Amino acid sequence: MILAIDIGNTTVEFGFVKNQKFIKSYKLSSNLDKTADDWLLDLQQIFFVEQTKVDDFVISSVVPQIEDKISFSIKKGFSKTPLIIGKNIDIPIKNNYKNPQEVGIDRLVNAFGAISKVNPPVIVIDLGTAITFDVVNEKGEYEGGAIFPGIDSSIKTLFSKTSKLPMVSLSESKNPVGKTTIESIQSGIFFGYCSLIEGMVDRIKKQYSYDFNIILTGGNAKLISKGLKIRHILDEYLSLEGIYLIYNFNRSKL
């Protein structure tokens, strides 16, 4: 078993992964002000609840400041050096980006997790802090994708830039035409992002002239999945699965 640690801009997810069917995770806020000792306390509490041991700690990160603190806390509290994807673990996928170093580790982790789950070509849509579309071609190579502002960020921006519109929470809408201001905002966000996803998938299909498997993941994936009219797989643990699969691929070299 490993502890897969997915460090994102909004949350840090700690996942106990035994295999692709046994995953238990805990999410904490990506607080830049927390010290290494704060993270160590969090880890100790999680392990106290789980009462289990892990063979390795494996990190995928897009926030270097938090990555450094969590790495230090693991060394201090567990006498283990964490394995960091992209540094001492390679991601076994060909990267066709013009500048491969520009691609976020999280996007490549998702891409590898996706082609280990379904046959390529595949589009991974991650509804997190940002909404990312990541395309893997029929050869299993990472092609690139698109990045949009995330849903939560859009809601906060709308609220902060308008004086009369209320702050709302994201929820499933039954009809596109709202009968109150809150319903109208919720409808615009819910159906708007569903249409955005459907429209982008259609454009990507036209660019490559073949059909794709589609995987939806990320914090808002479960809700948005309910409004999509396109065939897709919902996988809330794709990032943790990707970390685990990359670790397994590299284990003989470690």
Catalytic positions: 106
At residue 22, the pLDDT reads: 80
**How high is the pLDDT of residue 21?**
75
- Note the pLDDT tens digit of each residue in 184-238: 888 998 999 999 999 999 999 999 988 999 999 999 999 999 999 999 999 999 9
pTM listed for this prediction = 0.92
pLDDT of residue 114: 96
Report pLDDT digits (tens) over 40-73. Answer: 999 999 999 999 889 999 999 999 999 999 999 9
Residue 85 sits in the same domain as residue 123: no
Q: What is d(CA 17, CA 4) in angstroms, rounded to the nearest whole number?
A: 7
Residue type, 49: V
CA 25 to chain CA centroid, nearest Å: 13
Give every CB contact of residue 27 below 8 A, 6+ residues apart in sequence: 11, 12, 13, 14
Same domain membership, residue 127 and residue 76: no
Statement to judge: residues 129 and 230 lie in one domain: yes
Q: How many domains does the chain have?
A: 2
CATH of the domain at 42: 3.30.420.40
Q: Which domain holds residue 70?
A: 2-89
Q: d(Cα 244, Cα 1) in Å, to the nearest integer?
A: 9
Average pLDDT value for residue range 175-189: 88
Task: Give alpha helix (H) positions in the chain.
Answer: 36-50, 64-78, 105-115, 151-161, 181-208, 221-225, 238-250
Residue 11 in any domain: the answer is: yes
